[in-house]
Structure 1
Amino acid sequence: MVAGASGDARLAVKRFVHLCVEVLNGYRPAAHLRRLSLPAEAAEVASQGLAGARRVTEMRRPRRSGDRRSARPSPVAVIKVNLCEPRPGAVEAAVALVTGERTWAMALRLELHDDSWCATTLRLI
């Protein structure tokens, strides 16, 4: 049986999710996700963040003339975070996100390396 995640793991997930939401909303470049990722996984994590930011931008574009969608876009917001720590030093999270009328999900894994939590996986669904 897997116990709840440690306080350190919860804080690391909170910080990483906050950074991801800033990327999705266009407040930060996706490259900022690299510094919170393992070097071997950094390119893929940043790529997933960039792809998500592009999807959000596309959703906000007007589809036809007179569409007011772009006038005041809804920011991406976190609805819920579920996490587990399958082993000490690894935490996985499923995050429900919303923007406007669209709900989507983000899955991620962070691992503890040299006293720092680093992303190894990020998927936006």
Structure 2
Amino acid sequence: MVTGASTEARLAVRRFVSTCIEVLNGYRPAAHLRRLSQPREAATVVAQGVAGARRVTEARQTRATGRSSRQRPAAVVRLQLCEPREGAVEAAAVVVVGDKTHAMVIRLERQNESWLATTFRLI
């Protein structure tokens, strides 16, 4: 097993995670994850984006109890990567939404010259 990840894999993960955070915060539609996903997994990845965005919205609504009306966007506070084999990278991120913490897990695989998602979950 390779520890860490190649520079190319790291850049792909950061791009995907950045797009996911924009989806979770409502800045992008979840459908934008489709072009970053393996075709056979795209529907599942997009569905997880929709579910994650819904969870973030619900967390914000629950939190609106008269405190500050300003809502902090979801943000990644830690990201760990590993490349279990050449052409595959897995990542786990700690995502903070208001005062709640979630885990985000992803797997990307290289297909030709592109890194595409096969798994995305917000837990």
The TM-score normalised by the length of structure 1 is 0.93
Q: Secondary structure, in 3 states, of the residue corresponding to 1:61?
A: helix
1:53-73 deviations in whole A, cap 9, x for unaligned? 001111111578xx2368211
What's the % identity of the aligned pairs? 65
Uncovered stretches (5+) of structure 2, i.e. residues with no partner: none
How far does the alpha carbon of each residue in 1:80-117 deviate from its partner, in whole angstroms, 9 at most, with x for none?
00000001110000000001110010000000001100
Match in the other structure for 2:114 = 116
Q: Which runs of 5+ in 1 are unaligned?
A: none
Map of 1:93 onto structure 2: 91
Which of the pair has more CA radius of gyration? 1
Q: Which amino acid aligns with 1:80?
A: R
Q: Which is further off, 22-31 or 54-63?
A: 54-63
Contact 1:36 1:117 in 2 (8 A): yes
Aligned to 2:75: 77
Report the equivalent of 1:11.
11
Q: 1:9 to 1:63 in 2, by over 3 A?
A: closer
Q: Secondary structure at the match of 1:3?
A: coil
Q: CA RMSD in A?
A: 1.5
Number of equivalenced pairs:
123
